Structure 1
Amino acid sequence: METHDLRAIANKIRRRDLRAVFEAGAGHIGGEMSVTDLLTALYFHIMSVDPKSPRDPDRDRLVLSKGHTALALYITLAEKGFIPPEEISTFLKPHSRLNGHPNRTKVPGVETNTGPLGHGLPVGVGMAKAAKLDGASWRTFVITGDGEMQEGSNWEAIMSAAQFGLDNLTLIIDHNRLQQGARLADTINLAPLAPKLAAFGWAVEEIDGHDMEQICTALSPDTITPGKPKCIVAHTNKGQGISFMSDNVAWHHKVPTEEQYKQAMTELEEAAK
């Protein structure tokens, strides 16, 4: 798929995400906007997945470790055909399977339950190791937040992945510099992330996490370093695409007013032209 097509899909996902958060009265819209381009590139250009066979043993796997941005994943899955698009309107409603964090047993296309931060990468390491043991060719992708990288469990998983030579594993860090309530720099400042991962034996690449061409190139199997897991540090903006949300820590978990909703939708619609 061409990059302009991928950008159009990402914009559509952002608009639907905005509307769903506004209608539900809840959601993690800032981080959803920062991760959307990464999800779009994975599902519509990189990963081998089939909505008609969501448990195909040869499928590629994605673990959205920053599970609080589940809505962005649900909408991406709906666009891909895993779930009906109209189901997005049930987000967070009673008896809906579209909860605030993804549930593997309820939603086709979700690989593992996430939400407690620091769990997704260890699970992803297990998946990648299992593929190696089976001699399988499928790949495992894990998306974490940068604040989430403060969890010690991630660094244990990073050591393990390097020890096992898991070159079928790609970690994507959504590096939007913000976490709940504060900037990364004001809590436990892990930046710069790239040299730390490299020191643990990973192949590391830094990209603009909103440049679709850079994202697709970095995720390509042609960029795999044999014997090394890969980390992509994707520099992103929280609230990407919406002027008053962009790089604003207040929008980690906030719902726009009707006036803000209309302004944000207008901006996204203008960007789609």
Structure 2
Amino acid sequence: MTNTTTDTTGATAASPVADFAALPRLMSLMTGDEKHGPAATSTLDALWVLYDRVLRVSPATAEDPERDRFLLSKGHGPMAYYAVLAAKGFFPTDWLPGFGSYDSPLGHHPDRLLVPGAEIGSGSLGHGLPLAVGTALGLAAQGRTGPAVWVLIGDAELDEGSNHEAIAYAGAAGLSRLHTLVIDNSSATHGWRGGIASRFEAAGWSVTTVDGRDHEALYTAFTQPHPDRPHAVVARVEAKEYAGEPKPKAAPEPEPGAAAA
């Protein structure tokens, strides 16, 4: 089975629907500086389960008003997102090696005008959840009750006040078509007493915390009923410093016999 997609030049390409095991190979095609590798790999499992089993969107329905919307707020590590989109046929896999280059549509932050399937252009942290709230409100105003709105944020984004205004409003408004996926790799500056879930619960959300590498647990959490309330899934993964994040170099040892300063 294959999906077809049309790139920005008008050429049509075909891409097989890959399984999860193919994603590391696709990610390995993206090289260069400023990859934010840990930020990308922390999202890989959750993104795959969403696109493979939950989201009602495909290359053929990417412009359908009744499609589900997925917003990547954690946009500074987009390699996993690009790998999943390519695996699902939103754009050709031969775009991947050009990641981050001057003439590539695949920038270090996704651009919705260049990346097929991307709903928003990301940038400053903390914008995605407020945009998702606005998207859910806009769909409701149009009478579209079918589409679900999903937004993926990082735990460190919860340091931004804009998210807390969005969380408070969405809970009070009962935006039941709104879903927030929080990837928790322990990179927040302060953390939350009682855990991240407690912040959403206090605002009236449905919320569950799961192992962010367990596909069945993710699927169960993603599809959990939450009538009349928005839903949050906190996906816990390994701490950032253990996922390949570069560490500061130690000071060089003094040469033998060198005089002390």
TM-score, normalised to structure 1, is 0.79
Question: Structure 2 matches for 1:51-130, cutoff 5 A?
Answer: 51-130=59-138
Q: CA–CA distance in 2 between the matches of 1:119 and 1:14?
A: 28
**Residues 215-259 of structure 1: CA distance to partner in whole angstroms, max 9, x if unpaired?**
111111xx23211101111111257xxxxx7345437xxxxxxxx
CA distance in 2, matches of 1:119, 1:33: 21
Percent identity for Structure 1 against Structure 2: 36
Structure scoring higher RCO (CA < 8 A, sep ≥ 6) equals 1
Match for 2:159 among 150, 156, 169? 150
2-structure distance, mates of 1:144, 1:56: 24
Q: Structure 1 CA distance, aligned partners of 2:111 and 2:175?
A: 26
**Following the alignment from structure 1 to structure 2, what is the Cα–Cα distance between the partners of residues 204 and 249?**
29
1:189 aligns with 2:213: no
1:131 is aligned, of 136, 139, 158, to 139
Runs ≥4 residues deviating over 6 A: none
Structure 1 residue 125, shift from structure 2 partner: 0.5
Corresponding residue of 1:18: 28
Q: 5+ unaligned residues in a row in structure 2: which ranges?
A: 1-17, 248-261
Aligned in 2, Cα 1:177/1:111: closer, same or farther, shift over 3 Å?
Answer: same
| Secondary structure of 2:124's aligned partner | coil
Distance in 2, matches of 1:248 and 1:80, equals 27
Measured in 2, the distance between the counterparts of 1:165 and 1:40 equals: 27
Please tell me whether the aligned partners of residues 179 and 230 of structure 2 are also in contact (alpha carbons under 8 angstroms): yes
Q: Tell me what 1:48 maps to.
A: 56
CA distance in 2, matches of 1:250, 1:102: 23
Decide whether the 8 Å contact of 1:58 with 1:138 is kept in 2.
Answer: yes
Mapped to 1, the partners of 2:245 and 2:203 lie a distance apart of: 30
Q: Distance in 1 between matches of 2:243 and 2:61?
A: 38
Measured in 2, the distance between the counterparts of 1:160 and 1:93 equals: 39
Give yes or no for contact 1:150–1:190 (8 Å, CA) kept in 2.
no
Shift of residue 172, structure 1, vs aligned partner:
0.6
Name the one with the larger helix percent. 1
Other structure's SS at 2:152 match? strand
For the Cα contact (< 8 Å) 1:14–1:36, is it kept in 2? Answer: no
1:55 match: secondary structure: coil
Structure 1 residue 52: deviation in Å?
2.3
Q: CA deviation at 1:15?
A: 3.1
Matched, 1:250 2:246: yes
Secondary structure at the residue paired with 1:40?
helix
Query: SS of the residue aligned with 1:250?
Result: coil
CA distance in 2, matches of 1:86, 1:125: 34
Corresponding residue to 1:174 among 163, 172, 183: 183
User: The residue matched to 2:42 in structure 1 has which SS?
Assistant: helix
For the pair shown, the structure with the greater C-alpha radius of gyration is 2
Structure 1 SS opposite 2:232? strand
The number of residue pairs the alignment matches comes to 228
